[in-house]
Amino acid sequence: MYPRWHILSGAILALLVWIAAPDLNFLYILLLFFSSFLMDVDHYFCSVAKTRKLGLFNAFNYNEKLVEEEKRKHKQGLKEKSDFHLFHTIEAHILIGLLSLFWVGFFYVLLGMIFHSLLDLYCLLFLEKRLYVREYFFVFWISRRLKKTDKSFGKQDKSRNPQQEHRQGKNKRQQQDNRRSQINSA
């Protein structure tokens, strides 16, 4: 879902809460509003990590192209995971939920995050029909990363076979590119 829709829907939600509870500390209304779209800051971090550029416009451009590419693959029947978005995981929600036990402001941050995530889920499930694209659990993502690291160590060991090393030598660079793109697509 585009950030502008998150900002608009977050503003409507914050306004409704404000109307329903006008005596509520305005800071909580602001926390609810800002968390409902700033949660997508993890998309920005991914863009900076992949492109090594800090510009916000570059991040929008990167994410737009990423989604286009994912939709193209979806049409081809390829079901690949997108970038990993930490703040969109169940664990991030649980962490903020636990923090809300210590300060009520986090409860409104959590409400904004849940609202954001429900909108994202609605988009992925009903509009784009590609729910598989997101990793919802941090533990699953980290275990996949560890398995890939194990496999790449295995490949390094096998390459000590001189014959195999010779065969692999010609396309070593290609393999490294493939491996990098596999890791990037996690």
- Summarize as ranges the residues that interact with Zn ion (CB under 5 A): 40, 120
Q: Shortest distance, CB of residue 185 to Zn ion, whole angstroms?
A: 18
Q: Shortest distance, CB of residue 105 to Zn ion, whole angstroms?
A: 21
Q: Shortest distance, CB of residue 92 to Zn ion, whole angstroms?
A: 11
Closer of 107 and 136 to Zn ion (Cβ): 136
User: How far is Cα 164 from Cα 159, in angstroms, rounded to an integer?
Assistant: 6
Q: Do 62 and 47 meet the contact criterion of CB atoms below 8 Å apart?
A: yes
Closer of 120 and 128 to Zn ion (Cβ): 120
Closer of 91 and 120 to Zn ion (Cβ): 120
Q: Do 29 and 18 meet the contact criterion of CB atoms below 8 Å apart?
A: yes
Q: Shortest distance, CB of residue 6 to Zn ion, whole angstroms?
A: 7
The C-alpha angle with vertex 133 and arms to 75 and 126, in degrees rounded to 5, equals 70
Single-letter residue type at 80 = E
User: How far is Cα 29 from Cα 19, in angstroms, rounded to an integer?
Assistant: 11
Q: CB under 8 Å to 18, separation ≥6 — which residues?
A: 24, 26, 29
Closer of 106 and 115 to Zn ion (Cβ): 115
